Every structure is written in structure tokens, then in C-alpha cells.
Amino acid sequence: GGPGRRVAVVFGGYNDHLPFNHIPTDATIRNLSQIVGRLKKAGYRVAIIDEANTGGAPRQAVHAAIRNGTIAADIEIDPFAPGQKLANVLDRTTWDADTTHPAQAGHDILASTVWSHIQGLLR
């Protein structure tokens, strides 16, 4: 540990898959790989947050790219995995009606989940 430890948190693929953006999954993976690579080169430890279970999300492709090293994140955070509090985008206690944005309670859960995973990277 010590002063100067830097951590970047990257969201994986959010909004790329929305119909009006027309960004193919392979481009999302390539972009995330470049973003993570540049942050690591700049001295950051990088946490990547998997995308939620929304329609068209490149969720499985991002998982695979992290596992095979194409996206070289130091840690993967998946607050949307089955069994997690944010897994169901239809749950109005944690998600807005658009099924894309967390409600206030969802943001609180997301922040707590991310912090619990990255605090060790800051030590």
C-alpha cells in the first residue's frame, strides 16, 4: 500500500448495445480492452463492472474477454449476477421503469458492492 495507489472502475459496455448507438459487440470488447490497457499503463489497478441483464447486452462476451485476458482488468465485479440484489432489472425497488437505470436503492447497492470489491486494491 501507500500513498498514490490508483484504482479505476470501468463499466463494461453500458449503452453500446442500445439500438440508436449501433455499436457491435466486437467493437465494445476492443474499446474496453484499449481503455483498460491504457489505464493499466498509466499505473491504475482496474476494476471492470459487468453489464446488467438487459436486452442486447454484450454481457457474455465481456465475461469471456475478461476470462481470456482480452480485457486485462485486475478485478471483475458482477453486481448483476443471478442471486445478487441487482440481478432482476424488472424489480422496481432497485431499478427504474426503463430497466436500464438503477433506482436510488439500486445505486446504493451498486456503490456498496463496488466499494467492497475495490477497497482492498487501495491498500
**What string of pLDDT tens digits covers the 123 residues of the chain?**
455 689 999 998 777 777 788 888 899 999 999 999 999 999 999 999 988 877 777 888 888 999 999 999 999 999 999 999 999 999 999 999 988 889 999 999 999 999 999 998 887
DSSP code at position 16 = T
Residue recorded with cell 482488468:
73
Query: pTM score > 0.85 for this model?
Result: yes
Distance CA 69, CA 73 (A): 8
